[in-house]
Amino acid sequence: MNGFSWVCPYCGHAATIRDEDMCSYDSILYIKNTDGYRCLTSVFIVCPNAKCRRFTLTATLRQLESVFRPNGSGRPDYSGRPILREWSLIPESKAKSFPDYIPKPILDDYGEACLIRDLSPKASATLSRRCLQGIIRDFWRGKVKPGRLAREIEQLEGLVDDDTWQAIDGVRSVGNIGAHMEEDINVIVDVEPHEAQLLVELIEILLKEWYVARQQKRLHLEAIRKLSAEKESARKVERDKGSRS
């Protein structure tokens, strides 16, 4: 296999996964039954990043029209067959890893929204709305007047850059999400699975564009300050030497 692109859920490293990074096994339901033949493929992937090397485990259930047993001539390829279910077993959800300088309640809501996204889109969307409100109230403290989530979002226009605003506004216009932001965040409302997914993705964008970007800027400025302080003290030493000689 030529390898495929993959992003590690633990360290965020983007990598190309090759044969030596993964192993997969097929388990076939070949007994005749009313639902049809099935293939369950379990896949282990080990992160190629030398500093990480953690593994993920996923399982995929596929529908088979027929079962043929190989007679010692290699393994049949079922990868093109229709997928019925997919599970992320380790880690349990597709939540991305974010640094711990982001407040814990926000990361907890985000993690749980990811965890139950497939099982219960409406519970996931409810957690996402709460997470979204938590982010806005924490990150824009003093700049956004607390109220209904929809009103708080409206106040962001002009505060945030155009691209981020387009992303927020875009998600609001999908399906029932906009209407749900009018509701109290604790009201559980029906949403389609793809709407729950969009909310999770919006949260990921905001965590990255706001918290991570702010921290990177801080570190960058700190490094510049440190460097100029070092240069200044080096100049001072030179000056002192000069005045003594």
Q: How far is the CB of 212 from Zn ion (least distance, A)?
A: 17
Q: How far is the CB of 229 from Zn ion (least distance, A)?
A: 35
Q: Which is nearer to Zn ion, 13 or 94 (CB)?
A: 13
Q: Report long-range pairs for 186-192 (Cβ below 8 Å, ≥24 apart).
A: 186/126, 186/130, 187/126, 188/122, 188/123, 188/126, 189/122, 189/125, 189/126, 190/122, 191/121, 191/122, 191/125, 192/121
Q: Which is nearer to Zn ion, 52 or 188 (CB)?
A: 52
Whether 52 and 44 have beta carbons less than 8 Å apart is answered as: no
Q: How far is the CB of 139 from Zn ion (least distance, A)?
A: 27
Q: How far is the CB of 209 from Zn ion (least distance, A)?
A: 22
Residue 175's contacts (CB-CB under 8 Å, 6 or more residues apart) are 191, 192, 195
Which H or E run includes 42?
strand 37-46
User: Distance between the two ends of the chain, CA-based, in angstroms?
Assistant: 70
Query: Which ranges of 36-190 does DSSP label H, i.e. alpha helix?
Result: 104-115, 121-139, 149-154, 162-172, 177-182
Q: Which is nearer to Zn ion, 64 or 212 (CB)?
A: 212
Q: Which is nearer to Zn ion, 47 or 171 (CB)?
A: 47
- 3-state class of 243 per DSSP? helix
Q: Which is nearer to Zn ion, 11 or 116 (CB)?
A: 11
Q: How far is the CB of 106 from Zn ion (least distance, A)?
A: 23
Query: Which residues of the chain form contacts with Zn ion (CB under 5 A)?
Result: 8, 10-11, 13, 47, 49, 52
